[in-house]
Structure 1
Amino acid sequence: MRGRNLRWLIILCIVIFNFILQSTVIPHIAVLGVVPNTALIIVVSLAILNGKREGAVVGIIAGFLQDIFFSPVLGVNALIYFLIGYFIGIMETKIYKDSLIAPFIFISLGTVIYHLLYFIIMYFLSMNSYFYDLIRNVIIIEIIYNVILSIPLYKWLLKKFTVSSIKFGGK
């Protein structure tokens, strides 16, 4: 039990540290006004590595932090990251985790899904958003940026947080 609590404490610290970086340093490395979504990278990576529960919980925490400080509507990012973390985490047992192809595909897909869901929610909340401009000016650049940054981050998370699937002693 103690090991599990320590693991969640470390993950919480990573999410908070990422949030601090994402709100202070990362805006200064924008490419064409687009910044990488490192919270999404962490949520997707941990969902790939450790399944739907971890992906969903980390998604809620990371999304809620963003909602509190940056979102006009509380809970939108938490809901979107939760859904992405949960549904990618469902496929965890079918993914070869040592390959960089899985994070490449799922982070690209997660980026598109994030923006699509965000647009739909904001549309129904009568918040102005233009999807064509979003695709043309943000999503493509963000996918490239996210995938590039995901390589070292995923490798580090793979080393630190992979749950061993080899079990001895029948338990």
Structure 2
Amino acid sequence: MRHVKVLLAAVLVFALQTTVISQLRIYGVVPNLILVTLLLMVLLPRDRSGIEFALIAGFLQDLFTAKALGTNVFIYVLIVMFFYYFKEMYFGENRISVVAGVVIATILYHLIFFITVIFLRDQYRSVLTVLGTAGIEAVYNSLLALAVLPLGRKWFESDFGI
């Protein structure tokens, strides 16, 4: 049953990301609801479905929006592993930890994506442009995380959650 709930959560978050959230552009930057949800799954205590969610949501994102299959899966799994490793040492359950985690995850996402694009020999922007975009998106993702955090706590920590 847990696997079905993770699948449904990934499909729902992907659908929201590609329909509703994609319309909320500020300076051409869209918040990454998938990354925010993934981080909440990792940082909230009762959930252990981060890698599973990363695989499903990353695959959906690659399948429908990316040029290369596997790029987002790779990045999301790396981010989940990073945060699972450092979760006990540095991240608590408070809002400051969530915001710090979202900022770090967003910057990591953009840097790993930038390096991956270079290896794929695709068109890429300069490092300064990537960091500028990552900075705006980090603020945007942090605000989104603070808005979604109460809902995430109810969903992930309840007996009906994942």
TM-score strictly above 0.5: yes
Q: Work out whether 1:105 is the aligned partner of 2:100.
A: yes
Question: In terms of Rg, which structure is larger?
Answer: 1
Identify which of 148, 154, 157 aligns with 2:152.
157
Shift of 1:124: 1.0
1:64 partner amino acid? F
State the match for 1:41 in structure 2: 36
Assess, with a 3 A threshold, how the Cα gap between structure 1 residues 146 and 101 changes in structure 2: closer, same or farther: same
Range with bigger deviation, 153-162 or 40-49 = 153-162
Structure 1 residue runs without a partner (length 5+): 165-171
TM-score w.r.t. length of structure 1? 0.84
**Partners of 1:36 and 1:30 in 2: how far apart?**
8
Deviation beyond 4 Å, 4+ runs, structure 1:
50-53
Shift of 1:9: 2.3
**Partners of 1:70 and 1:9 in 2: how far apart?**
23
Instruction: Answer whether contact 2:59 2:73 (CA < 8 A) is retained.
Output: yes
Structure 2 residue runs without a partner (length 5+): none
Instruction: Answer whether contact 2:43 2:92 (CA < 8 A) is retained.
Output: no
**Partners of 2:157 and 2:109 in 1: how far apart?**
25
Q: CA RMSD in A?
A: 2.0
State the match for 1:169 in structure 2: none
**Partners of 2:3 and 2:87 in 1: how far apart?**
19
Instruction: Give % identity.
Output: 31
Query: Higher relative contact order by CA 8 Å / sep ≥ 6: 1 or 2?
Result: 2
State the match for 1:55 in structure 2: 50
